[in-house]
Structure 1
Amino acid sequence: MTTARFTGRTALVTGGGSGIGRAVALAFAAEGANVVVAGRRQEPLDGTVTLIEAAGGKALAVTGDVSRAADAEALVAAAVDHFGSLDVAVNNAGVFRGGAPLAELSEEDWHTQLDINVTGVFLALRAEIRRMRTQPSGGAIVNIASTFGVHTRHPGAAAYAASKAAVSVLTRGAALDHIRDGVRINAVSPGAVDTPMSLRPGETETDRAERTKAALPLGRISATEEVAAAVLHMASDAAASTVGTDLVVDSGATA
C-alpha cells in the first residue's frame, strides 16, 4: 500500500458492505488506513474485507445494527480493540422505503427509516465522539446525508427526505457541541449515485444513463468513488478548519 493521508489511522465505515460504503472503505484503505466495516450482514462485509486485503490493506468486518445503542458501542470497541484507536468514522448506513405518496406510507416503513437513518446516526455518533474525545489526536466524523432533505425534495420520498434532513441538522449541532473536544464533524450529501438505489422501478442502467444525461447539468450521475473522494477530503487534515459543513455531490442537480 502507498503511504498517504491516513497511514496509521483507523477508519470505521458503517454500511460498508456495498455501494458508497464499500467505495469509502476501499478508498481509506488505499490511503493507508486500517478499516473497520460494519453492517447487519456478514457476507457483504467479508467481501469488502477481501478486496482490501487483496490490495495489501488491513480490515476488519463487524456485524451490528446501528439503531441499537449496544451494537453502536460494540463497533467502536471492536475498532479500538483490534487497531488501537478510532481516528475517523463514516456513518453511511441507511435505508430507503418509499416510492409512494406519504398517505400510502406504512408506519413500519416510517419507523424503519427513522430508526436507521436518524437514530442509527445519533447512536453511532455518540459512541464515536465518546471515544475520540479521549484521544490526544481527537478524530473526524463524516455523516452521509443526501440531497433529498434540506437540499431538495421529490414525490414519493417525503419520509426519507425528512430523515436525511435530520442527519444534516444533527451533524451541524454535534459539530458545534464537540469541536472543542477535538472531534471534527461534517456531512456529505450525495445526489444520484451509481448504485441500485438510483434506478427507477424497471429501469436499466442504460435507461438511467439516458434519463440523467438530459436531467443533470453534468450529464451523468456520480460514481461511488467520487463520493468517496469527497468523504476522504472532509476527513483529512486538509479540511482541518471545515466544521459542520454539508458538502453536496450531485452532478449539479441542486446548483
Structure 2
Amino acid sequence: MNVLDRFRLDGKRLFITGGSRGFGRVIALAAAEAGADIIINGRDPAALAKTADEVRERGREVRTYPGDIADPAFCEALCARVIAEAGPVDILVNNVGGRNLAAKIEETSLDQWQTGVDLNLTHVFLCTKMFGTEMLKRGKGRIINIASISGMIANRGIGGRHYETTKAAVIHFTRATAADWAPRGVTVNAICPGLFMTEPNLVWSKSHPEVIETFVRQVPMGRTGEPDEIGPLAVYLASDASNYVTGASFVIDGGYTLW
C-alpha cells in the first residue's frame, strides 16, 4: 500500500456538526476529496445546501440536517434520526462552538453561562455518546473534537470565559473517552486551533481590531491561520494513517502557545 493510500477515506461516512461554514465546511470538503460520504448539520439551510453542492462536485454523496445542535433536546433527536436514516457513521466530528458572549465573569448570568456550556460542551458529550455507542458495537470508529488553544490558556483582553472553560473540558473529555474506548476500537482526538480567520472572526475583528492585532503580534509565524489549513489534519485523524493515535490534542496555532 502506498503511504498516501493510508489517508484515503473511501467507503467511510463522516458526520460533522456545524458543517456549512468555517472549519466545518473545510473539513467536510477535505474528507469528501479523500473519498468519504458526508453528513452535515448547521443552522442555515441555504449555507448547508451550498456546502452540499460543493461535496457533490467532488463526487461524493451528502445528506443535510438543518437545526441548532447546541439545543440539547434537538441534539439528541438529531443524532437518533441520523443513526436511523443515514446508516453507520464511521467518523464523527464535533465542530460546533464559539464565544457567543464577551461579558466579564461578574456580568455573566447563569442562563448565559449555561448557553455557552451547551454550545461548546454538551453537544460534544451527546453526539459522542450516541454515535460512539454505535461505533463500539461495530468495534471501530473515529471521533474528532474541535477544541481550541483557549482550553490551554486564558486569552488577553476578552470576556466570555465560558469559552476557555468549556474548551478545556472538551480537551479532557477527549482524553477520558479515549482512555475508556481505546481497547474497544474507537479513537478520540482533539484539534486545538489558534486564531483562524473564519467568518465569525472576520466579522468580530472589524469591531475588535486591537484584540486581533495584539494576538497576531504574539504568533511566531506572524499571521492568523486560514480555515483550509485545518482540513489535512482532520483527514489524518479520520484515516488509517492515525491508527495508533488516541487521546491526543493537536495544536495548530502558528506557534502562539510556544511563548
Stretch moving more, 55-64 or 43-52: 55-64
2:57 is matched with 54
Stretch moving more, 207-216 or 62-71: 207-216
CA RMSD of aligned residues (A): 2.5
Deviation sequence 1:121-165 (CA, Å, 0-9, x none)? 1001001111111225x1000000011122443331311110111
2:102 is matched with 99
Counterparts in 2 of 1:205 and 1:30: CA distance versus 1, 3 Å:
farther
Unaligned runs of 5+ in 1: none
1:116 is matched with 119
Counterparts in 2 of 1:48 and 1:114: CA distance versus 1, 3 Å:
same
Q: Aligned partners of 1:164 and 1:208: how far apart in 2?
A: 20
Deviation sequence 1:73-98 (CA, Å, 0-9, x none)? 5336425633x321101000113123
TM-score of the aligned structures, taking structure 2 as reference length = 0.87
Q: Aligned partners of 1:70 and 1:200: how far apart in 2?
A: 27
2:152 is matched with 150
Aligned partner of 2:82 among 68, 75, 78: 78
1:25 is matched with 28
In the alignment, residue 85 of structure 2 is paired with which amino acid? D
In the alignment, residue 78 of structure 1 is paired with which amino acid? V
2:187 is matched with 184
Unaligned runs of 5+ in 2: none
Deviation at 1:202, TM superposition (A): 5.9
Q: Aligned partners of 1:73 and 1:218: how far apart in 2?
A: 43
Deviation sequence 1:9-64 (CA, Å, 0-9, x none)? 00001010110001000110111100000123322211110111123221110124
Q: Does the CA contact (< 8 Å) of 2:205 and 2:212 recur in 1?
A: no
Counterparts in 2 of 1:119 and 1:206: CA distance versus 1, 3 Å:
closer
Q: Aligned partners of 1:207 and 1:57: how far apart in 2?
A: 42
Aligned partner of 2:206 among 196, 203, 206: 203
The reply on whether 1:237 has 2:240 as its aligned counterpart is yes
Q: Aligned partners of 2:256 and 2:61: how far apart in 1?
A: 36
The reply on whether 1:39 has 2:42 as its aligned counterpart is yes
Aligned partner of 2:134 among 124, 127, 131: 131
In the alignment, residue 88 of structure 1 is paired with which amino acid? I
Q: Does the CA contact (< 8 Å) of 2:34 and 2:235 recur in 1?
A: no
In the alignment, residue 74 of structure 1 is paired with which amino acid? L
Alignment identity in percent? 31
The reply on whether 1:216 has 2:215 as its aligned counterpart is no
Q: Does the CA contact (< 8 Å) of 2:148 and 2:192 recur in 1?
A: yes
Q: Does the CA contact (< 8 Å) of 1:40 and 1:63 recur in 2?
A: yes
Stretch moving more, 207-216 or 235-244: 207-216
In the alignment, residue 148 of structure 1 is paired with which amino acid? S
Q: Aligned partners of 1:92 and 1:203: how far apart in 2?
A: 24
Q: Aligned partners of 2:26 and 2:204: how far apart in 1?
A: 24
In the alignment, residue 79 of structure 2 is paired with which amino acid? L
1:140 is matched with 142
For this pair of structures, how many residues does the alignment match?
251
